[in-house]
Amino acid sequence: MRVLESSKELDDLFAFEGKDVVVFFYTSAFKHDANQKIMERYARLAKHFASRRIDSVQFVAYDFNVLGTTSHALNADLPNMHLSPAFQRDDSQFKKYFGEPTLDDMASYIKKHVDVKFQMKTRNLDPQSGPSMEELQAQVMQ
């Protein structure tokens, strides 16, 4: 997973079709254990895809604290994950993930919503599911 260094990089990713893009929006303003746990799960998900050589899905991270807001996620509850399908680049097609932050659920969501289809088992990837996304987001905001 690559951490973006400018908001222009995010815009550039969406300017070109052909790869599905998963963006992890977060903020480094909150130094909290829950924030770190979510980021670790996202990083493990990206590594899982990379280890399976699924290169049609690109994983990036966007830090609101460093890069500011973006038109792609103005009202984001942080941290969260969005998917931009490879051939549907307008913001109305930008899909926000509302599920639990488990590798199984996130991988299933990505597999279901990408434009470039791939084969991958999406169950039993993460034996430790942990707290829900809402619980982790609430901890980050405390």
Cα atoms in the Cβ-side hemisphere of radius 13 Å centred on 93:
14
Instruction: Give the model's pLDDT for residue 114.
Output: 93
Q: Give how many domains the chain has, as a whole number.
A: 1
| CATH label of the domain that carries residue 109 | 3.40.30.10
| Cβ neighbours, 10 Å, residue 82 | 17
Distance CA 24, CA 82 (A): 7
Structural domain range at position 123 = 2-141
pLDDT for 59: 95
User: For position 60, what pLDDT does the model report?
Assistant: 94
Determine the Cα–Cα distance for residues 115 and 71; give it in Å rounded to an integer. 22
- Structure pTM? 0.80
Per-residue pLDDT, 101: 78
Q: Kindly give the confidence (pLDDT) of every residue in the chain, 142 residues in length, as a single tens digit, with 9 standing for 90 and above.
A: 888 999 889 888 888 888 999 999 888 887 777 777 888 888 889 998 998 899 999 999 998 888 888 776 655 677 888 898 998 876 666 788 887 778 888 999 999 999 999 887 776 666 554 555 555 556 555 5
Task: Please state at what angle helix 33-51 crosses helix 103-113, rounded to 10 degrees.
Answer: 50
- What is the model's pLDDT at position 139? 55
Q: Which two tokens stand for residue 69?
A: 């807001």
